[in-house]
Chains A and B, each alone.
Chain A
Amino acid sequence: MQGFVQNLIYGIQLGSLYALIALGYTMVYGVLRLINFAHGDVYMVGAFMGFYACTRWLPFQDLSAHPEAGGRNVALALVALLIVMAICALLGIIIERFAYRPLRNGLKTADAHFWGMGIALPIAARLAPLLSMKGMFIWLVLGLVLGFALRPVIAWLSKRIKLTSSRLNALITAIGVSLLLENGGLLVFGANPNFVPNVVPERNLMLPGGIQVGSSQLAILVISLILMGALRYIVLYTRRGKAMRAISHDIEAAKLMGIDTDNVISFTFALGAALAGAGGAMVSVLTHIKITPLFGLQPGLKAFVAAVLGGAGNIPGAVVGGLVMGVAETFVAASKYNTFKDSIAFCILILVLLVRPAGLFGKNVAEKV
């Protein structure tokens, strides 16, 4: 019995992380009907940003030398979390602007600058380590130059091509962006695994029944709940949130009502990315797992299944889906079929799509002829 409850707790801890990522998937699907494949990689970027924040950017003190600095480190960790969320929100906005908006609205000359920065990134990475003053400077300058150079190219292109934005095109673009982030990450961060050292004091708490909960896991759970609560508040009680809900209901009507859909869509992406980034940062800093540029792929896919399970576009559904996925995976891992723990996610996906494509909480929309 103790084993069962213990595994349940682990499952919920894992599930809360999946839920954070799944929220991003479900929100974007809600407003754009787009599966943002690149979302799992935002989680990865968040993890790396957390790693850099704790090892390079912020003055964390070595706890083994200065045990009393625990409180200060915790405060710094929260600051790091906010920084990471901001960076990832920005990343989300960039992805939307750079890859998905041209599919909706056509190529605009302003997009040239994003393309310029994008092309400049690997070149700058080659010339100097990106996360240094020199690297950043080269990237900025090169990006601006290329941006201006590309403006006439984009202008010429946008006159000649007619973009047919089918959902399939958007899906393929999303896959492309995901690959770009992963392989770009390999270039920027390197392929070797990284570990965040102990920066936050960690203790094990004993609950009645011999059940152990680590303070880190508890922190992840609590912070996830706070973030989800904040999201719920934004979606239900703010104007932007109302606009999001309007757009996910009927985007044309929303436009007619005077909602600046592009702005709100960017905001949606930013929100989702911030949550995923927070998840990534927490996982890297608090659980010290191995971080590589490709490690966002699996959790991303599983979180996507969670979103589909809960009903794509349904926010509480994503949370429930995430928890279900986490618990399912943990119980499979604890059983003797543990080599199936990654495949179970896809089995669930196939089952859901064949039996009830709308998910647990979604509405079944008949396809109109």
Chain B
Amino acid sequence: MLTNLTYNLMIKRLSAVGTGCVLALSMLATSGCKDHSGGGTANSTEIKVGEYASLTGDTATFGQSTHLGIQMAIDEANASGGVNGKKFVLVTEDDASKPDQAQSVVTKLITQDKVVAMLGEVASTRSMRGGAVCQQSQIPMISPSSTNPKVTQVGNYVFRVCFTDDFQGAVDAKFAHDQGYKKVAVFKDLKSDYSVGFSDVFSKEFAKLGGAITNVQSYQSGDTDFKAQLNSLKAGNPEAVLVPGYYTEMGTIARQAKDVGLNVPLLGGDGWDSPDLIPGAGTALEGSFFADHYFATELKDPATQTFIQAFKAKNGKDPDALAALGYDAGKVLIDAVKRAKTIDGPGIRDAIAATKDFPGVTGKITMDANRNARKSALVFQIKGKEFKVFKTYTPEQVGQ
């Protein structure tokens, strides 16, 4: 028998949670209000491919270049009829150079746009975040130019068409050794998995070759004042400084290095590869070096030149390494779709994994057991307003 009191008590309790439920349900009603268009598996007349890139923000030139390369590959495929009569549709999303946003746009591409494959990203940190989502949703992802080994370790749905920093870091170490440097300082970007991984590999390899790391300092991308750390590095009297960061900070770092009196060449990696590198630095980067992917407009290889001419005709400017890698990533994906048993995530994944000796404009691409590609590297020197090819390194030359 319920007394009035207990009754009221019950009402109180229930009304509290009841309100919660009513409100929660009303929320769901409003969000589910939109009509569920599409839903389910991919459209049967088109193959939707997602791309997430940093079209704006700190590393905007990375995304913009890569996008042009990918777009060209897709357009070429569609011009020659697509695959089994189905055309490719490229859905591109901008992640504003932010890892959190990379994660959310990849989620959006997979859940809302229902893409069957993903292309992206350039920055390793963003590739790892996007890759985790792709792995969980079983959508294959090809990164055109992320070089940190951890990217493909996310899972068997994540691939790349470029080399890893295990190689690139070793290249810079061998190069420093070949240039006769015995003492090198390291200045890494803690916000970037790429930079941290690169520095670690370099330090190990350089030590193996008999060199010494004088000092390791760090910064975070987004910082504007590096003088204190550069002053610290100067104290160790290095003959060169490794700065494997992204081009956005390089200009300021190079200038401030000169300001503090650290007048030694700087060494970098493919993170420097951008048309915005030199404008930001003025003359401060003159004579510095950086390792990069095997692509340059002066390479005489006919396939490379064909690509360069076609790209120039389409976009009005020369392609850089990132555009070339974007193109290769797109081509590898298209080739895999052609070979895939079923045009869905798992089917395309298996086809990508079987890629062997694919002729890319950045070199022959074979997916090894870790889903990485084995490529050569170039070392560029900055002379005036241009990057000039200085040296070539193959994996064998650095003992890999």
Contacts and interface: CB of A to CB of B under 8 A. Distances in A.
A and B touch in the complex (CB under 8 A): yes
Interface of A: 3, 6-7, 10, 14, 190-193, 195, 197-198, 204, 212, 214, 217, 287-290, 292, 295, 330-331, 333-334, 338-339
Most buried by B among A197, A330, A333: A333
Given A339-B190, A339-B218, A198 B282 contact: yes
Given A288-B251, A290-B249, A6 B231 contact: yes
B282 A193 contact: no
**10 shortest interchain CB distances as A-B pairs:** A334-B228, A333-B228, A289-B224, A191-B56, A195-B280, A192-B60, A214-B259, A10-B227, A330-B228, A212-B261
A10 to B, nearest CB: 5
B208 to A, nearest CB: 25
Nearest to A190: B56
Contacts of B229: 333-334, 338
Query: DSSP majority for the B interface?
Result: helix
B188 to A, nearest CB: 11
Given A197-B282, A334-B231, 19 more contacts: A3-B235, A6-B260, A10-B225, A10-B227, A10-B228, A14-B225, A191-B96, A193-B58, A195-B251, A195-B279, A195-B280, A198-B282, A214-B259, A217-B259, A330-B225, A330-B227, A338-B218, A338-B229, A339-B190
B251 A212 contact: no
B227 A204 contact: no
A290 B56 contact: no
Contacts of B220: 339
Nearest to B221: A290
23 contacts: A3-B231, A3-B232, A6-B231, A10-B225, A10-B227, A190-B56, A191-B96, A192-B57, A193-B248, A195-B251, A195-B280, A212-B260, A214-B259, A287-B252, A288-B252, A288-B282, A290-B249, A290-B252, A292-B58, A330-B228, A334-B229, A334-B232, A338-B229
A50 to B, nearest CB: 14
Contacts of A330: 225, 227-228
Interface string B198-231: 0000000000000000000111100011011101
B255 interface: yes
Contacts of A331: 228
Contacts of A290: 224, 248-249, 251-252, 280
A289 B252 contact: yes
B191 to A, nearest CB: 10
Contacts of A193: 58, 60, 248
A182 to B, nearest CB: 14
Contact of B261 (A7, A190, A204, A292): A204
Nearest to A198: B282
Interface of B: 56-58, 60, 96, 190, 217-220, 224-225, 227-229, 231-232, 235, 248-249, 251-252, 255, 258-261, 279-280, 282
Given A3-B235, A10-B228, A338-B218, A204 B259 contact: yes
Contacts of B251: 195, 288, 290
Contacts of B190: 339
Contacts of A214: 259
Nearest to A6: B231
A334 to B, nearest CB: 4
Contacts of B217: 338
Contacts of A195: 251, 279-280
Contacts of A204: 258-259, 261
A217 B96 CA distance: 32
A296 to B, nearest CB: 11
Contact of B56 (A10, A192, A198, A339): A192
Nearest to A283: B224
A203 to B, nearest CB: 11
Of the listed residues B220, B224, B252, the one surrounded by the most CB atoms of chain A closer than 10 A to its CB is B224
A190 B60 CA distance: 11
Contacts of B258: 204
A357 to B, nearest CB: 29
B193 to A, nearest CB: 15
A210 B112 CA distance: 61
A191 B229 CA distance: 27
Contacts of B279: 195, 197
Contacts of A192: 56-57, 60
A212 B263 CA distance: 13
Nearest to B252: A289
Contacts of A287: 224, 252
Nearest to B282: A198
A289 B220 CA distance: 14
Contacts of B261: 204, 212
A338 B216 CA distance: 12
Contacts of B219: 338
Contacts of B252: 287-290
Contacts of B260: 6, 212
Contact of A7 (B224, B231, B280): B231
A38 to B, nearest CB: 21
Nearest to A334: B228
Contacts of A198: 282
A330 B256 CA distance: 14
Contacts of A295: 224
Nearest to B258: A204
A198 to B, nearest CB: 5
A333 B232 CA distance: 10
Contacts of A333: 225, 228-229
A126 to B, nearest CB: 16
